């Protein structure tokens, strides 16, 4: 069976949740005997990664944020049209080109269309009113033309039009059981932009965030709450900005950080060992995502056996249940930070609760089995 996965920036993963998911799923499906193609946005020659065929967009990646959004739509439409000629199933991640799911049917292609609506994209504050309306309309059109709707959170069911909910299948993201990485200060030298500050970081003496630096991930709330707390620990934030305006807003907050408690160290994509070392050895993990479904970064944190403090919303609560603490604003976050630091043993059981839950219900074996069942049903 030939399957093309469209909509991520490509693999190996170097950006966000879709890319991590795409790499994990595609390479495992190849091991199950499927022929998998992943579309990529970089202007390189077609190739292969882990047995997965990689095809690249013919369009150059623009530098302007606005032009990039337009580029992503045209790139997805191009791939939907092209990949439907040679594949049995198209799996579209995200809804920026949802309307184009009608193309295979118009072109009389005998191909099945699956879509992953991800989260409530049309509510993301990083998008303006036109963009949010565009995403909502694309989602509704994709619901009509697709054969299967994948939702990675049960909470997403109510965001699917009632008429098409019979197409919806719940399959969350997955996580691997990580190997333990011992604390090694020398590894921190890999982050060249902050060698002096990171050199002072000690094991269990910092809080951690791993996220794309966007408004709906509440980076501003996390920094504000952390600075309001009485902690003497550091906050390490791993991730990249995609919005200059939001970056300026965060910088205004950082200007109030006279004690330099907050360290923004950019994204880490090519050093999994270092990233896992920072995750496993943090004092606690902060997760501010609000409009996604199941966030891969949250699953990763749960697998690391650390205390998790997450934004109080239906998506995070579905995933963590009683294995995390929750906040809804910077004041509540500051109170929670202080409470955990004053008596960490009181909350230590959360670590094992989170680990057991994620390894039981979000394992790759379970997720890949769920996908193969879907593929077998629609072929």
Average pLDDT over residues 249-271: 90
Please list, residue by residue across 282-316, b when 16 or more beta carbons sit within 10 angstroms of its beta carbon and e when fewer do: bbbbbbbbbbbbbbbbbbbbbbbbbbbbbbebebb
367 and 355 fall within a common domain: no
Q: Is position 179 within any domain?
A: no
pTM score of the predicted model: 0.86
pLDDT in the model for residue 289: 94
The number of beta carbons lying within 10 Å of the beta carbon of residue 201 is 19
Query: Which strands, in side-by-side order, build the sheet including 307-311?
Result: 262-264, 234-238, 206-210, 284-287, 307-311, 325-327
Q: Is position 180 within any domain?
A: no
169 and 255 fall within a common domain: no
Main-chain phi, psi angles of 241, to 5 degrees: -80, 150
127 and 199 fall within a common domain: no
19 and 89 fall within a common domain: yes
Cα 43 from Cα 132, distance rounded (Å): 28
Residue spans of alpha helices (H) in 304-363: 314-320, 330-342, 349-361
Average pLDDT over residues 188-212: 78
Show the tokens assigned to 235: 């906050």
Q: Which of 102, 122, 124 is nearest to 111 (CA)?
A: 102
298 and 308 fall within a common domain: yes
Residue 248 confidence class, pLDDT cut points 50, 70, 90: very high
| Inter-residue contact 300 to 210 (CB < 8 Å) | yes
**DSSP letter, residue 241:** B
Cα 60 to chain centroid distance, Å, stands at 24
Please list, residue by residue across 231-269, b when 16 or more beta carbons sit within 10 angstroms of its beta carbon and e when fewer do: bebbbbbbbbbebeebeeebeebbeeeeeebbbbbebbb
338 and 356 fall within a common domain: yes
Which structural domain, as residue segments, surrounds residue 327? 185-361
Q: Is 17's pLDDT higher than 70?
A: yes
The predicted-structure confidence for 81-136, as pLDDT tens digits, reads as follows: 999 999 999 999 988 888 999 999 888 788 999 999 877 777 777 778 888 888 88
278 and 193 fall within a common domain: yes
Q: Is position 259 within any domain?
A: yes
245 and 341 fall within a common domain: yes
Q: Is position 221 within any domain?
A: yes
| Inter-residue contact 329 to 224 (CB < 8 Å) | no
203 and 127 fall within a common domain: no
157 and 272 fall within a common domain: no
250 and 154 fall within a common domain: no
pLDDT in the model for residue 271: 84
- What's the domain count of the chain? 2
CATH number of the domain where residue 132 is located: 3.40.50.2000
pLDDT in the model for residue 226: 98
Q: Is position 227 within any domain?
A: yes
23 and 129 fall within a common domain: yes
């Amino acid at each position: 069976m030939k399957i093309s996965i469209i909509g991520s920036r490509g693999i190996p993963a170097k950006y966000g949740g879709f890319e991590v998911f795409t790499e994990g799923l595609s390479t495992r499906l190849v091991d199950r005997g499927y022929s998998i193609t992943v579309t990529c946005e970089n202007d390189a020659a077609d190739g292969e990664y882990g047995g997965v065929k990689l095809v690249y967009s013919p369009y150059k990646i623009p530098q302007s944020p606005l032009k990039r959004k337009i580029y992503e739509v045209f790139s997805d439409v191009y791939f939907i049209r092209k990949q439907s000629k040679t594949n049995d199933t198209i799996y579209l991640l995200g809804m920026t080109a949802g309307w184009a799911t009608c193309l295979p049917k118009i072109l009389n292609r005998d191909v099945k269309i699956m879509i992953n609506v991800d989260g409530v994209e049309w509510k993301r504050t990083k998008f303006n009113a036109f963009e949010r309306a565009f995403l909502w309309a694309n989602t509704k059109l994709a619901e009509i033309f697709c054969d299967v709707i994948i939702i990675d959170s049960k909470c997403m069911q109510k965001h699917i039009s009632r008429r098409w909910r019979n197409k919806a299948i719940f399959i969350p993201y997955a996580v691997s059981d990580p190997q333990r990485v011992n604390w090694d200060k020398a590894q921190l030298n890999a982050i060249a932009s902050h060698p002096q500050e990171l050199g002072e970081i000690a094991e269990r003496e910092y809080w951690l965030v791993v996220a794309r630096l966007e408004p709906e991930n509440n980076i501003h709330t996390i920094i504000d709450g952390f600075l309001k707390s009485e902690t003497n620990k550091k906050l390490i934030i791993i991730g990249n900005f995609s919005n200059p305006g939001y970056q300026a807003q965060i910088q205004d907050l950082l200007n109030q950080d006279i004690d330099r408690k907050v360290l923004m160290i950019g994204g880490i994509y090519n050093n999994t060992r270092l990233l896992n070392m920072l995750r496993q050895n943090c004092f606690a993990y902060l997760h501010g995502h609000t409009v996604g479904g199941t966030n891969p970064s949250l699953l990763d944190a749960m697998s690391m056996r650390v205390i998790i403090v997450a934004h109080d919303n239906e998506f995070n609560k579905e995933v963590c249940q009683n294995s995390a603490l929750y906040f809804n604003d910077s004041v509540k976050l500051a109170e929670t930070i202080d409470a955990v630091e004053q008596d960490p043993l009181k909350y230590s059981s959360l670590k094992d609760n989170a680990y057991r839950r994620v390894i039981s219900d979000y394992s790759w074996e379970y997720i890949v089995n769920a996908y193969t069942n879907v593929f077998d049903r629609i072929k």
